[in-house]
Amino acid sequence: MGLDTAVSKPHEALAALLSEDMGAVNALIEDRMASEHAPRIPEVTAHLVGAGGKRLRPMLTLAAARLCGYTGPYHVHLAATVEFIHTATLLHDDVVDESAQRRGRPTANLLWDNKSSVLVGDYLFSRSFQLMTETGNLDVLRILSNASATIAEGEVLQLTAATDLRTDEAIYLQVVRGKTAALFSAATEVGGVIAGADAAHIQALFDYGDALGIAFQIADDLLDYQGDSAQTGKNVGDDFRERKLTLPVIKAVAQATAEERDFWVRTIEKGRQEDADLDHALALMDKYGTLSATRQDALAWAEKAKASIGQLPDHDIRDLLIGIADYVVSRLN
């Protein structure tokens, strides 16, 4: 291991620092996504895993474990566990959202069918539980099985909350904690737990993952309205068209006049949208400054993440984790 200072993006620097560990994680993922009897399983999984993505979550587990001085083999199992849970969730999300694209490629539900996505997702969930069981550590089993339940609960909550104008910032935060932050915080927490870190450090790692995940999701929701579609790979206003209540709209609804509220009822709750509606929605967000308020929220969560990880001892990895907290909100200008 050695810090490659020529790399400027912190997640790339972290990947370089942890490249040996990440190689072991990738080999384990490759090994466990196989299936003796059902070739459809590695086909579907390879399509998604092969598409890349930053592997941020498993890297967080490796980083947390190394930061706490772990020298055993099981951080690799835990990192692969986290990536399998994430991949299973993506497969099921794309079925639920009827998505056609993911990471710039057609989704598995489009290339194969919903059936394959549902069942291969179940397979990867099961594989993730096998992997975590192999660590023999009941604390990590408890943390990761709790995280899985929180993720599924958050997704179900989102089903009903997304198009309901009564959804306020507290409910939004619950959904975000479920669908995104729960896996981030479990990823960092189990890294500390497997390393036998003390309770205060484990709590700080959890808080870092929690705040980082929330910052990450708020940034994602904001970029949906003000991102550069060439960079994000999404069209501006996809969430509006899909009638997803996210923070910029929730803040506008909270301050809406009666007439504006009627607009949100029609476009989000009833889903009766016309061509000019997105522009009007953006004008209302501008009127109340909700995009910049949302940006402030994301930045505040990133600061919270940095303060939490700052409680750990001085270490190259700690500084890169601080850098990653800045990085996830750096796309917001």
Residues that bind a second copy (CB under 8 A): 35, 37-41, 92, 95-96, 114-116, 118-123, 125-127, 129-130, 133, 136, 138, 141-142, 145-146, 148-149, 151-157, 159-160, 174, 178
For residues 4 and 164, which CB has a smaller minimum distance to a second copy in the complex?
A: 164
Q: Which C-beta is closer to a second copy: that of 146 or that of 235? A: 146
Question: Residue 131: how many CB atoms within 10 A of its CB?
Answer: 24
Question: How many other C-beta atoms can be found within 10 angstroms of the C-beta atom of residue 317?
Answer: 22
Smallest gap from residue 297 Cβ to a second copy (A): 21
In the complex with a second copy, the residue whose CB is nearer, 134 or 303, is: 134
- CB closer to a second copy, 17 vs 95: 95
Which residues, listed in sequence order, are joined to residue 102 by a DSSP beta bridge? Answer: 105
Shortest approach of a second copy to residue 164 CB, angstroms?
A: 12
In the complex, what is the shortest distance from the CB of residue 108 to a second copy, in angstroms, rounded to a whole number? 12
CB of 324 to a second copy, least distance (A): 27
Cα torsion 270, 271, 277, 279: sign:
positive
For a second copy, give the closer residue by CB, 9 or 142: 142
Q: Which is nearer to a second copy, 36 or 275 (CB)?
A: 36
To a second copy, the closest distance from the beta carbon of 243 in angstroms equals: 14
Least gap, CB of 136 to a second copy (angstroms): 6
Rounded CA separation 181/151 (Å): 9
Q: Which 8-state DSSP code applies to residue 227? A: S
- Asked whether the beta carbons of 192 and 64 are under 8 A apart, the reply is yes
- DSSP string over 50-97: HT----HHHHHHHHHHHHTT--SSHHHHHHHHHHHHHHHHHHHHHHHT
Relative orientation angle of helices 40-50 and 114-134, to the nearest 10 degrees: 80
Please compute, for residue 124, the number of CA atoms within 13 A of its CA located in the half-sphere on the CB side: 33
